[in-house]
Amino acid sequence: MTNTTSQERGRAAAEVAQSTDQAQIALEALKQRLYEDVAALRQQDDDRTPYGGDFESLVTAAQLASQQETDELLRRRLERRLAELDRVTRRVEQGQYGVCESCGAEIPAERLAAIPDTTLCVRCQSKRERPRTGRRAA
C-alpha cells in the first residue's frame, strides 16, 4: 500500500511539473504577443502627424485625436495585462502555480489548461465577478 501511495505521489508531482512547464510556455507566448501589440501601438502613434501638415479638415483632426486616445487606452490595458502575467510568472517560479490566491484551494488542471494565467479557483472567481447587492449605480 505504501508503494502505491508513493507511486501516486510521484505521478502527481510529474503532472504538476508538466502543468507548470506548459503554463510557463503559454504565459511567455502570451506575453510576447502583448509586447508586440504594445510596440505596434507605439509605432502607430509615432507615425502620426499630430496636428497640421497633412490634415485637410477639423473633422480629420478630431478623428485622429479620438484614435490616439483609443490607442492610448488600449496600450495601457495591454501594459496592465503584462504586469498581471509577470505576477503569474512569479507565482510559477515560487511554486504557487495552480493554488488559488484567495482561498488556497488547488485550481483544477482543466481550468489551468483553459486559462493558464488564472490565479483563482472557479468559486473565488465567481465571487469576485458577482455583482454586489445594495450598491446603487451613480
- Position 74 in a domain: yes
Domain residues for the domain of 50 are 2-97
- Position 115 in a domain: no
- Whole-number pLDDT of residue 138: 45
Q: Which helix (H) or strand (E) holds 117?
A: none
The fraction of the chain above a pLDDT of 90, given in percent, is 34
- Whole-number pLDDT of residue 28: 87
- Position 112 in a domain: no
Distance CA 125, CA 128 (A): 5
Chain centroid, CA 129 distance in Å: 16
Read off the pLDDT band of 23 (50, 70, 90).
confident
- Position 12 in a domain: yes
Total count of domains within the chain: 1
**Do residues 117 and 93 make contact, with C-beta atoms less than 8 angstroms apart?**
no
- Whole-number pLDDT of residue 15: 63
Q: Evaluate if residue 2 carries a pLDDT over 50.
A: no
- Position 24 in a domain: yes
pLDDT one-digit tens code per residue, 62-87: 788 888 899 899 999 999 999 999 99
Q: Nearest CA to 88 among 137, 133, 24, 39?
A: 24
